[in-house]
Amino acid sequence: MVAQLHLADLVVPIVGEPIPDGGVLVSDGVIAAVGDASRLAEQFPAASIARWPGLLTAGLVNAHAHLQYTSFSDVGAQAYETYTDWSIRFVEEYDKRVHDDWTASARQGAQQMVANGITAIGDIVTNFECRDVLLDLEIPGVAYLELIGVDLENWASGLEKELRTAVELAPTSAVNTVGISPHAPYSIDAPVLTLMADLARELNVRLHIHVAESDGEEELYRTGTGSLADRLRIVATRRVAVLEDGGFGLGTGAFVQSLGVLGPTCHIAHGVYLAEEGRAIMAAETTFVALCPRSNHIVGVDYPPVADFLTENIPIAVGTDSLSSSTSLDLLEDVALLRRLAIEGGYSDSDLDARLLHAATMGGAAALGLACHLGSLEVGKRADLAVFDVASISELVTSGAGKCTATIIAGKIRHPL
């Protein structure tokens, strides 16, 4: 197979310095060389050349998505007053869609992401029929099989077997794996959360969970009271230990840690209300936090304290969440918002743009356990590339949304087709 040389005005390897008039040599879907354009052209005269205007970098990694809800854009088209308001609207919509073609919706979402320069996805799969969508589309990622509203009895009387079987039977590859996702610490009974984490370790798969997304969580785990506790009392059809026991006396991060859920093979979504104690726990556990600020706004909660995440060196990635809580599947919209929030929060270091781009590429790759395969332009990694019509990293981070002009996955041009 003839090697291809992708040249661009600016090549940003993520790991290493940006290269003006740079190039990436691709052979058999893998990066064979990265460097100065004219030197590469001279060294590899037989390579076919593609010359891209703008900035070429590693494909973006969306560390938190629910592809199956791409058809829920009506739900996410406006912001809600409170998280409870959003939850009620979401559940109302979900209940109407029992017979939806979830796979078709998921495929549409994945295609939209590819058109925005995303080349790897952490996808939460609530309806297991969507499990193989990424693998089928040849888009790297982890399909996290989600359980929600589970107590020990449900777990023991069939759900454990169903989950175990879905994981064990999943077709996988080096860059397409399945994981396990307990929805949130308040929607799964505590003993089941620990059993799900144990199962993930036993099957050697990754874990992902929503944590500290709403402001009611901290109060719920500490004292069994607050807005989330009130909502749980209304919707619970089972005994909820955290309510009856008056909480567990632990903050959100410490509570999740006590269940054995965290660690380097787990990443969490949101982390808005972790507080300093919870963020320090994530750093100590090497548990990445996928920040999804646009989603936080739509569901009626606060923005994450981005400046704190950066100054405290908490491992972060970026996610769009789904169209049920966002207006597009363009990760650079979230990156631009994170930038604004970081500055508003007082972060003034000159490395801001580079750190946010790192979070949206290498950060996501690490969160999904794929950092040895993708997330940066390094020899031996997959040729998962994205080209944007911008002149600098700063422009990409500030206003790169909607400016993806080409997406290449394993050396194949996937956008535009």
Per-residue binding string, Zn ion, 276-305, x by CB under 5 A, is ------------------------------
- For residue 382, the 8-state DSSP code is B
Please state the closest distance from residue 95 (CB atom) to Zn ion, in A: 18
Give CA–CA dist 245/259, Å, rounded.
16
For 153, the token pair is: 């009895």
Of 121 and 404, the one with the shorter C-beta distance to Zn ion is 121
Nearer to Zn ion, 189 or 321 (CB): 321
Q: How far is the CB of 208 from Zn ion (least distance, A)?
A: 9
Cβ-based nearer residue to Zn ion, 44 or 69: 69
- Indicate the burial class of 202 (C-beta count within 10 angstroms; 0-12, 13-18, 19 or more): exposed
Closest distance between Zn ion and the C-beta of residue 66, in Å? 6
**Total binding residues for Zn ion by CB under 5 A?**
1
Q: How far is the CB of 285 from Zn ion (least distance, A)?
A: 20
8 Å CB contact between 252 and 274 = yes
| Span 18-37, contacts to Zn ion by CB under 5 A | none
Exposure string for 164-201, b = 16+ CB within 10 A, e = fewer: eebbeebeeeebbbbbbbbbbbbbbbbebbbbbbebbe
- CB nearer to Zn ion: pick between 34 and 125: 125
> What residues pair up with 388 in beta bridges, in sequence order?
55, 404
Residue whose CB is less far from Zn ion, 288 or 347: 288
Within 320-359, the residues that bind Zn ion by CB under 5 A are: 321
Residue whose CB is less far from Zn ion, 217 or 321: 321
Considering only residues 146 to 185 of the shown chain, the ones binding Zn ion according to CB under 5 A are none
Q: Which residues ranging from 306 to 325 are in contact with Zn ion (CB under 5 A)?
A: 321
Nearest to 220 by CA among 268, 193, 185: 185
Distance from C-alpha of 111 to C-alpha of 338, rounded to nearest angstrom: 24
Closest distance of CB 377 from Zn ion, Å? 29
Report, in Å, the least distance between residue 210 CB and Zn ion: 6
Q: Which is nearer to Zn ion, 257 or 320 (CB)?
A: 320
Q: Quote the least distance from Cβ 73 to Zn ion, whole Å.
A: 15
Contacts 24+ apart (CB under 8 A), 162-169: 162/128, 163/196, 163/199, 164/199, 164/203, 166/128, 166/131, 167/199, 167/203, 167/205, 168/203
Nearer to Zn ion, 69 or 388 (CB): 69
Q: Compute the C-alpha angle 275/276/282, nearest 5°.
A: 95
For residue 215, the minimal CB distance to Zn ion (Å) is 16
What are the Cα distances from residue 32, in Å, to 24, 259, 349, 383? 8, 43, 34, 9
Residue nearest to Zn ion (CB): 321
For Zn ion, the binding residues (CB under 5 A) are: 321
